Amino acid sequence: TLADQAAVAIERTTLVSDIETARVATERERLRSALLSSLSHDLRTPLVSIMGAASSLITYDEALSPDNRHELAQTIQDEAERLNRFVQNLLDMTRLGSGTLKPRIDWADLGDIVGGAVERAARLTRSHTVKVEIDPEIPLLCVDAVLLGQVFFNLLDNACKYSGPGTAIKVWAKKAHDHISVEVADQGPGIPEADREKVFDMFYRVSQTDSQAAGTGLGLAICRGIVEAHGGSIRAESGLHGAGTAIVIRLPLPAVAQVAPEPEGA
Ligand code: ADP
């Protein structure tokens, strides 16, 4: 009868919504535990810097020159600020339902952003040579420098983690008429073609990657979130000389139009 059919339909709808509720709950739980493991992984490095600098300040106290003392205090401040922003953005990104980052846009120089990230990465590893080539034609960008710095840091961190000691890492940036592309390339094992899109998903790790390298599978997902929040795109390709990995970022250049020089006599 019609009533029976209606009852079955209602039952199905209830079942579907129960499954949906369970799925959302599982997803929330997954995000919560991923956030916790990401925090312990990604926060350790700056925390170690802060603890090291604070300990030097206390241990060497009087023996430190004013310059040394200032440098250590500056390290503590810089790393604490990065931690603060990073946690904030991570929380923003994982906020259920929104999944959006809100970049704090300002004028920034790409060379400074990349340079800062290279410096931070160099504190983690001394066994790679990092070469940076930035097209001098690239104008000031309208971006969130802290977030983009985090992107380059994550990419350099991966390049160091997944490629052998002593190998080269190259960062180069080029300008096209309406966008810039920045590439971070290494000479490691590369990412198999079938995984090149999936590595940007949360929690995805390539199965045969050296298990020595600690990771949560969140680094590239955060990179993608940040790049897309800037209207850009990110993809994985083959790296240096057809081997290794290259992560290529493309950022639009609306900034160029805004800084076009005033017409003469205006
Ligand atoms: P994590 O490094 O924490 O595992 P990511 O999201 O940064 O997470 O990277 C996801 C996966 O992509 C890594 O587990 C690794 O398998 C692969 N990967 C990322 N960068 C590289 C690289 N430069 N070379 C080889 N594999 C990489």
Tens digit of each residue's pLDDT (9 = 90 or more) over 6-23: 777 777 777 777 777 777
Over residues 81-94, the mean pLDDT reads: 65
Name all residues whose Cβ lies below 6 A of ligand 1. 158-159, 162, 186, 188-189, 191, 199, 204-206, 209, 215-221, 245
38, 162, 186, 226, best to mutate for ligand 1 pocket (most atoms within 8 Å of CB) = 162
**Separation between Cα atoms, residue 95 and residue 108, nearest integer Å:** 27
- The confidence score (pLDDT) of residue 236 equals 97
- The confidence score (pLDDT) of residue 254 equals 67
44, 150, 209, best to mutate for ligand 1 pocket (most atoms within 8 Å of CB) = 209
ipTM of this complex > 0.85? yes
Query: Could you tell me the distance, in angstroms and rounded to a whole number, from the CA of residue 36 to the centre of ligand 1?
Result: 19
Contacts for 93-99: CB closer than 8 Å, 24+ residues apart: 93/222, 93/225, 94/31, 94/34, 94/35, 96/28, 96/31, 99/225
Query: For residue 242, what are its two tokens?
Result: 């057809």
Query: Could you tell me the distance, in angstroms and rounded to a whole number, from the CA of residue 90 to the centre of ligand 1?
Result: 18
Query: Could you tell me the distance, in angstroms and rounded to a whole number, from the CA of residue 210 to the centre of ligand 1?
Result: 10
Tens digit of each residue's pLDDT (9 = 90 or more) over 210-259: 545 566 677 888 888 888 888 899 999 987 677 899 999 999 986 533 44
Secondary structure letter of residue 263 according to DSSP: P
- The confidence score (pLDDT) of residue 260 equals 40
- The confidence score (pLDDT) of residue 208 equals 62
pLDDT > 70 in the chain, percent = 77
